[in-house]
A and B are shown apart, each in its own frame.
Chain A
Amino acid sequence: MTQPKIRIRGLKKSFGAKVVLDGIDLDILPGTGMVVIGGSGTGKSVLIKSILGLVTPDSGIIEIDGENVLTASRRRAKELRAQIGMLFQNGALFDSLSVWENVTFGLLAEHKIIRRDAPAKAIEILAQVGLDATVAALSPSELSGGMQKRVALARAIASAPAIMFFDEPTTGLDPIMGAVIDELIVDCVKRLGSTSIAITHDMASAQRIADTAAMLYQGRVCWSGPATSLLTSPDPVVDQFTHGRAKGPITMALRR
């Protein structure tokens, strides 16, 4: 049996009295893409931030390549997490830096290139997300939302990560630009052979960019299966969520 690239068992996290993750179990196989769906406040971002080390879980196991990052030494956990590229929901581009400095930030930090070669390297990576060289010298504030997303994607793929996370990659974009970003994500993930996890509320996007899907509800994985079966799942929670119905097992009180 293939060892999962990422294996999560019994992951729990509370903020004060609010239980956000209540025993999450997930396996993501190498080279596959999983989309995590769920209502607002169900802990999707906390799950990804826990894997990234930005949030410390209360208990549980997070394994990358069979090693538990929560019990590994700080240095080893950093090494394991260094293979993760992240596309943040709003891009999270550094305002004070130009586009080329943003794109090559990680490469320079890891001393994979020298600063003199960085602009040329950035132009090369920007081309992979469909942006031309003229963008490189601009600052993020001079770009449209779609272009900022592409630059953020370029930054995420710059070091050819083995694992990629996408936090609501199409949020705030028009449907056409959303589809373009999805295509770029699929293309980049396929080209790099990466394992990916995406969070999205966009069901069309979910089916485009992922092989499997998991739904979080009340702090747990309530359903998982092929992404293509999201819209046809008989599970009442999934059915209500994916079809956006006001009535059903998910109530607003629970989602607050």
Chain B
Amino acid sequence: MNRLLSLVAALGALVLGTVTFIGELSLFALSGLSHIFRPPYYPRLVARSFMEIGYFSLPVVALTALFTGMVLALQSYTGFSRFGAESAIASIVVLSVTRELGPVLAGLMVSGRAGAAMAAELGTMRVTDQIDALETLSTDPMKYLVAPRLLAGIIALPLLVCIADILGVLGGFIVATQKLGFTSGTYLVSTFTHFKAEDVISGLIKAAAFGFIIALMGCFNGYRSKGGAQGVGEATTSAVVSASILILAVDYILTQVLFVK
């Protein structure tokens, strides 16, 4: 009986903890979003966050997209050549990259780079009283620290994904023409035949959502961190892990909403 009671108590604590976490995260997100639209505005901080999330993530996102496009072309060729369907490679590459791989891989890469940096920066500010200091200097930390990062994330990710899309398709093109024997003209015609604006737009919508998730989880975990260096480390790990899982989950939901008629 006692074991049953402790099991029920543990289950109850888990449910309560989960509900509390979701509630706190939702309120944090709503508060951060509302501050984007209310003055005072901090364009300098938005620009700084944009550079951090967008510009400095560009090399890692570009390389990831390029090599993914190249691998995709190679693997597709291996599979499709068994059925004599090698001509479908261009369509597979452009479709996969613009719909899925561009936004998801860019999201995961930026989460590991910029999301972790955000959590570490805000976490350090929290444990060194800098966030408290902001409040004593008539500045709302949500407005000063969180809102600019959320806005920058929402803007920067779609731009990164545009570049990732181009480089992913380019990677496929390089492998197809240099290694698999396709002519440039044939491959490009096939690519443009299967290239659809709505695929790119859906990818950009996903990217904006992923940018929001990365900034939100980075800020949320950093803002709530406590306990010195160990707490900041835990916040950083938690920011990357939670953002990565959320990106994959939201990707499924958005795919369902955007593509399944």
Contact = CB atoms under 8 A, between A and B. Distances in A.
Contacts of B121: 96
Contact of B138 (A90, A94, A109): A109
B138 A92 contact: no
A89 B138 contact: no
Contacts of A86: 133, 136
Contacts of A84: 136
Interface string A90-122: 101111100000000110011000000000000
The interface size bin for chain B is 10 to 19
B132 A106 contact: no
A88 interface: yes
B133 A52 contact: no
B198 interface: no
Contact of A109 (B124, B132, B139): B139
B127 to A, nearest CB: 10
A92 B138 CA distance: 15
A54 B133 CA distance: 10
A88 B133 contact: yes
Contacts of A109: 137-139
B136 A94 contact: no
A52 B136 contact: yes
A179 interface: no
A225 interface: no
Contacts of A175: none
A106 B135 contact: no
A121 B64 CA distance: 48
Given A89-B129, A90-B129, A92-B129, A54 B137 contact: no
B133 A94 contact: yes
Interface size class of A (residues with CB under 8 A): 20 to 34
B130 interface: yes
B129 A105 contact: no
Contacts of B125: 94-95
B128 A92 contact: yes
A226 to B, nearest CB: 29
B128 A90 contact: yes
Interface in B110-130: 121, 124-125, 128-130
A94 B139 CA distance: 13
Contacts of B129: 88-90, 92
Interface string B126-151: 00111011011111000000000000
A94 B135 contact: no
Nearest to A107: B137
A49 interface: yes
Contact of B130 (A49, A52, A94): A94
Contacts of B138: 78, 82, 106, 109-110
Given A82-B138, A105-B139, A106-B137, A54 B128 contact: no
B260 to A, nearest CB: 44
A106 to B, nearest CB: 4
A17 B223 CA distance: 24
Contacts of A93: 130, 133
A44 to B, nearest CB: 14
A53 interface: yes
28 contacts: A52-B132, A52-B136, A53-B135, A54-B132, A54-B136, A84-B136, A86-B133, A86-B136, A88-B129, A88-B132, A88-B133, A89-B129, A90-B129, A92-B128, A92-B129, A93-B133, A94-B125, A94-B130, A94-B133, A95-B125, A95-B130, A105-B137, A105-B139, A109-B137, A109-B138, A109-B139, A110-B138, A155-B137
The 3 closest A-B CB pairs, nearest first, are: A106-B137, A92-B129, A92-B133
Given A85-B136, A90-B128, A106-B137, 7 more contacts: A92-B130, A92-B132, A94-B130, A95-B130, A105-B137, A106-B139, A109-B137
Interface of B: 121, 124-125, 128-130, 132-133, 135-139
